[in-house]
A and B are shown apart, each in its own frame.
Chain A
Amino acid sequence: MRAYPKGLLTVAVLLLAVVLCGGVMAAENVKVGIVLPLTGAQAKFGEIEKRSFEMAAEEINAAGGIKGSKLELLFEDDTGKPDVGRAATEKLISRDKVTVLTGGYSSAVTQAATAVAQQFKVPFLVTTGSADEITEKGYDYIFRINPTSSEYFDPFETLIQKAGGIKTMALLYENTQFGQSSAKDVEGAAKSAGIQVVVKEGYQAGAIDFKPILSKVKGAKPDIIYMVSYVMDAALLMAQCKELDINPKMFAGGGAGFTLPEFQQKAAAAADLVYSATLWSEDVPYKGAKEYFNKFKKKYNSETEYHGAEAYGSMYVVADALKRAKSFSPNDIRDALAATDMMTAFGPVKFISYGKKKQQNKLPNTFVVQWQNGKMETVWPEAFAKKKYIFPTPAWKDRK
């Protein structure tokens, strides 16, 4: 069995060769590491964010880059798994020697990746990962541009107050990190708003039949049914609510699922009049928002949405910090990020501390949209509403 040491040696030599290869790269550029799900179930959003990052970087480089140097984006695929995300982040830090990190889509992956960044003291600007805990650990190298999952429900609180008559809630959520942590927050927020949560049920994403749980919901006669679901579960939930003839005053979605076009296409008539929280739409009054939306559509022939806007905004924030930093050392970049105060297409960005959170951006507004006649319309807050919200939701039988 002499092949063993020989084989091992060959492989070791090969590995060394590749390591050396990796080291010989252009040294002029400013390297930014980006961790995203490029394959796997979340690949679609990973792609939208990657394209948005690239688009922003192109614009920044065309306008002179970072004090003459060009931005170089290094993407790593986290495949939707936290352990892969962790390894990917380490690779970006140790092998590729990036100066700053951004990205982070799923909450689980973001948690693992930011822990690595903090350990190695490399600044990380979180783009999408929304679990509150991510900025509640006191990690001083971690910043976040997007609102946290507990804040998704905020615009609903004021809308519900205005609409009036909502006393009970049924809360359904997918058993994922996002779902479980959102549900916890929504339950708390509902209680403080004086709403009684009469049903709270988690489910495994991918279920075929929600009728059992929905019959329970129907029996409890809630005023609002709040669902934290991804797109296809959302479509099935609404279709089956229609089949069971459940008629609360309001159907609301607290996950990205309810704002995607596929939701409306699959659920058809059942999607109508469903509300959802969203962080951004192309109509928001922030500089560059509409241009970003149109440019993306023109370049890629498909529509972007709030994840893309988060990525686009993040790129500009990173570039801005790099420009202001005294040097490209991690601490100087971190200090520059901490001093950020700018407007992006996603919204205003300034990292502040509130509650348990540190270095968290707080958008002045998040919005509520409602599907009306097959179109998603911004309906709340009133200052931004394109159309008036329709409330209470008429019974299925009474709709045209």
Chain B
Amino acid sequence: MGILLQTIVAGLLKGGLYALIGIGMTLIMGVMGIINLAHGQMMMVAMYIAYVLNTMGVDPYFSLLVAMPTLFLLGVLIQKYLLNPLIKVDTILPENQVLMTVGIGMVLTEVIRFIFKSDYKYVTTSYSSATFFLGGISFNVPLTIAFFIALAFTAAMFWFLIKTDLGRSIRATAQDKDAATLMGINTGRITVVTMGLGAALVAAAGCLLAPVYYIFPDLGGPFTAKAFVITILGGLGSTVGAILGGITLGMAESLGATYLGMEYEDIVGLAIFVAVLLFLPGGFKRLTKV
């Protein structure tokens, strides 16, 4: 019983972090309809920012305040100069935008590798391994904090999308781009802001992950994969879906690791992904309507 509970807790906490990674991507996919395959790489850049600040003595939690705006700016620039221009171009395949993100991901990874080499870097904090026990189940402190921060961000995004003008414009653009333009929304600007937001959110995830993981140029790939599993699972554009999706993925991975074997961890995620694509297209959003 102890093993089961511990597994569930581990999955839950990991899931919170996953959710934060997923929210950014679901927003981007919902609004622009493009799969940002550079999502994990953006997180990687944020983690390097946290690393550099850490070598100067800054705590990763404070790095959030630097990394988020920086990645917001990066996202804005990428969208404005590299992705928006593609919308106007007449090409045979609409997937050019996705491929552009692949190229961007490659460039980000290699530039970082060029500057920092491939060595593993890590941030040193006093609390990386801090744990507290509840009834014999171990809770990792940084992951628990990340979990609550992820919930906070989700709530904030939810409020933002529903209550603010900008948020409503984003949702309108996501629903029907042409109608939104007709309504007077500057959809070009909206897409740029959305990408920036998505990047900033994943930057937050990176800073929160930094204390419990390690940093290297190639870490982006697997996280991008998890992000789109969560996006599909939760439903495009749905922030609540992202939280549910993230937690579901986290728990599925943990349960799979314990009861099937840790090698199957990644396959579990992929299997869920395919199952959702086939049996619940639209993801949790279809069930929750948000």
Give chain A nearest CB distance to B116 CB in angstroms.
Answer: 12
Interface of A is mostly: helix
Chain A residue contacts of B7, Cβ below 8 A: 211-212, 215
Interface residue ranges of B186-230 to A (CB < 8 Å): 209, 212-214, 216, 218-219, 222
B122 lies within 8 A of A266 (CB): yes
B129 lies within 8 A of A242 (CB): yes
B255 lies within 8 A of A43 (CB): no
1/0 contact string of A126-141 vs chain B (CB within 8 Å): 0000000000000000
Contact of B263 among A175, A212, A216, A232 (CB under 8 A): A175
Interface residue ranges of B213-269 to A (CB < 8 Å): 213-214, 216, 218-219, 222, 254-255, 257-258, 261-263, 265-266
A129 to B214, CA, bound (A): 26
Chain A residue contacts of B212, Cβ below 8 A: 208, 236
Chain B residue contacts of A266, Cβ below 8 A: 120, 122, 124, 214
B131 lies within 8 A of A216 (CB): no
Closest Cβ neighbor of B123 among chain A residues: A266
Give chain B nearest CB distance to A234 CB in angstroms.
Answer: 11
Closest Cβ neighbor of B213 among chain A residues: A208
A353 to B78, CA, bound (A): 60
A244 lies within 8 A of B138 (CB): yes
A242 to B261, CA, bound (A): 21
A216 to B259, CA, bound (A): 9
B262 lies within 8 A of A215 (CB): no
Interface residue ranges of B51-84 to A (CB < 8 Å): none
A219 lies within 8 A of B10 (CB): no
Closest Cβ neighbor of B217 among chain A residues: A41
A125 interface hit (Cβ, 8 Å): no
B118 lies within 8 A of A211 (CB): no
A239 interface hit (Cβ, 8 Å): yes
B96 interface hit (Cβ, 8 Å): no
1/0 contact string of A234-247 vs chain B (CB within 8 Å): 01100100111100
Chain A residue contacts of B262, Cβ below 8 A: 201-204, 207, 210, 212-213
A270 interface hit (Cβ, 8 Å): yes
A265 interface hit (Cβ, 8 Å): yes
A206 interface hit (Cβ, 8 Å): yes
Closest Cβ neighbor of B256 among chain A residues: A212
Number of interface residues of B (CB under 8 A): 35
Closest Cβ neighbor of A80 among chain B residues: B118
B129 lies within 8 A of A211 (CB): no
A170 to B31, CA, bound (A): 48
Chain A residue contacts of B261, Cβ below 8 A: 201-202
Chain A residue contacts of B119, Cβ below 8 A: 44, 262
Contact of A215 among B6, B131, B265 (CB under 8 A): B6
A268 interface hit (Cβ, 8 Å): yes
B129 lies within 8 A of A212 (CB): no
Q: A41-B218, A44-B119, A201-B262 are in contact. Are A209 and B254 (CB under 8 A)?
A: yes
Interface residue ranges of B85-136 to A (CB < 8 Å): 117-120, 122, 124, 128-129, 131
A212 lies within 8 A of B120 (CB): no
B278 interface hit (Cβ, 8 Å): no
Q: Which of B117, B140, B212, B214 is most buried by chain A, counting CB atoms within 10 A of its CB?
A: B214
Interface residue ranges of A215-252 to B (CB < 8 Å): 215-216, 218-219, 231-232, 235-236, 239, 242-245
B6 lies within 8 A of A265 (CB): no
Chain B residue contacts of A235, Cβ below 8 A: 122, 214
Interface residue ranges of A185-206 to B (CB < 8 Å): 201-204, 206
A201 to B263, CA, bound (A): 7
A203 lies within 8 A of B263 (CB): yes
Q: A44-B119, A212-B7, A215-B258 are in contact. Are A243 and B263 (CB under 8 A)?
A: no
A244 to B138, CA, bound (A): 6
Residues of chain A whose beta carbon lies under 8 Å from any beta carbon of chain B: 39-41, 43-44, 175, 201-204, 206-213, 215-216, 218-219, 231-232, 235-236, 239, 242-245, 262, 265-266, 268-270
Top 6 A-B pairs ranked by shortest CB distance? A211-B10, A212-B257, A212-B258, A203-B262, A215-B6, A232-B214
Q: List 30 A-B contacts (CB under 8 A).
A: A175-B263, A202-B261, A202-B262, A204-B262, A204-B266, A206-B222, A207-B262, A208-B209, A208-B212, A210-B262, A211-B7, A211-B10, A212-B6, A212-B257, A212-B262, A213-B262, A215-B2, A215-B3, A215-B7, A216-B258, A231-B120, A232-B216, A236-B212, A236-B214, A239-B129, A242-B129, A265-B122, A266-B122, A266-B214, A268-B128
